[in-house]
Amino acid sequence: MSETPSIALTNVSKWYGEVMGLNDVSVEFGPGVSGLLGPNGAGKSTMLKVITGMLRPNLGTALVCGRKPFDNPGVMRRVGLVPEQDAFYPHAAILDVITYLTRLQGYDKAESRRRAMNNLERVGLGHVMDRSAAGFSKGMRQRAKLAQALAHDPDVLVLDEPLNGLDPTGRREYAALIRALGDEGKCVLVSSHILHEVALVARRLVVLHNGRVLAEGTAREIREDLSEYPLTVHVQTQDGEALAPLIVSLEGVGRIEHAPTGLIVRTTQPNRLFDEIGAMAAEGKVTVEALDPVDEDLEAVFRYLTQ
């Protein structure tokens, strides 16, 4: 048994008939917030369902806190889940629903109710706790799902598209809470198909596409691993007119655009471009003030990886 909250997938494959949900995925998550990123159908939800024991891998091993999660209720004491789907009992007050779900963690009725109330207050639903979730907005339902996931103070927290439907203020608050949970040492895994959502909360990213892990690390680390992918470079120079014909024939260079501050160059071999321009500048052929990659942000990384 692992005391440290952790998730480990080793060579995990999961398929539905002929459709591959996960394809030989090996990845680990420890304390802190990690982001699971990928377009719709990439396998994010399948991975989260394997982690939370709803699906059994066809191949490979999934471990949560050192235990296999499928039909293993013991390990679920340490797990909290915010599912993607809005599933709530429509005929019961949200306080009663969360009290019931917290009772299943082994608390008595009074303690379950106290925790449910506390967490509904925590997520900003204290004023509507006697109402059914059926009348809630999407954002309120997201908060309610978070409240049920936090009520037993889990140290592995899995959040599937948690920021969907939240207004900007709610999104900021929710993201701050997720970061705080990560800072407490909990293993928090957040999935999303929207980059800026993940960027709000996670330092470490795992990019999934077609059931495979395309990359993992920080955004910068991932970008550094992608030397063969095209990069857009801003060459700050007053000699754009002279520089363009010199670099157009370089291997890997694609489109060149003139900009007020120099050239925007797209290349598949950025290191070579940097070396050649550096050499030209050293020889005095051109004057170059700076070379800046302009698309090292998450959006570009994601686009490169999934294209």
Pick from 140, 197, 193: nearest CA to 166: 140
Residue 135 interacts with other proteins (CB under 8 A)? no
Q: Which of these segments, 175-183, 204-212, 275-283, 297-305, binds other proteins (CB under 8 A)?
A: 175-183
Residue 294 interacts with other proteins (CB under 8 A)? no
Residue 27 interacts with other proteins (CB under 8 A)? no
Residue 103 interacts with other proteins (CB under 8 A)? yes
Q: Pick from 87, 134, 242, 248 the residue near other proteins by CB under 8 A.
A: 87
Q: Terminal CA-to-CA distance of the chain, rounded, Å?
A: 40
> Rounded to the nearest whole angstrom, what is the least distance from the CB of residue 207 to other proteins in the complex?
23
Q: Pick from 4, 26, 61, 77 the residue near other proteins by CB under 8 A.
A: 77
Q: Give the nearer residue to other proteins in terms of CB position, either 81 or 253.
A: 81
Site for other proteins in 213-232 (CB under 8 A): none
Site for other proteins in 191-210 (CB under 8 A): none
Q: Pick from 20, 177, 246, 256 the residue near other proteins by CB under 8 A.
A: 177
Residue 261 interacts with other proteins (CB under 8 A)? no
Residue 17 interacts with other proteins (CB under 8 A)? no
Kindly determine how many residues on this chain lie close enough to bind other proteins according to the rule CB under 8 A.
Answer: 56
Residue 173 CA, distance from chain mean position: 17
Residue 42 interacts with other proteins (CB under 8 A)? no
Long-range Cβ pairs for the range 127-134 (8 Å, 24+): 128/94, 129/93, 129/94, 129/95, 130/93, 130/95, 131/93, 131/94, 132/88, 132/89, 132/90, 132/91, 132/92, 132/93, 132/94, 133/86, 133/88, 133/89, 133/90, 133/94, 133/97, 134/88, 134/90, 134/91
Site for other proteins in 47-66 (CB under 8 A): 49, 52-56, 65-66
Strand extents, DSSP E, the chain: 7-16, 19-29, 32-37, 59-64, 79-82, 156-160, 187-192, 204-209, 212-217, 231-237, 253-259, 262-267, 288-293
Q: Which of these segments, 143-151, 204-212, 215-223, 235-243, binds other proteins (CB under 8 A)?
A: 143-151
**Token pair for residue 70?**
């499928």
Collect all residues with Cβ–Cβ distance below 8 Å to 159 and sequence separation of at least 6: 81, 82, 146, 149, 178, 188, 189, 190, 191
Q: Binding residues for other proteins, per CB under 8 A?
A: 1, 16, 49, 52-56, 65-67, 71-81, 83-85, 87-89, 91-92, 100-101, 103-106, 115, 118-119, 121-124, 143, 148, 150-153, 155, 170, 173-174, 176-177, 180
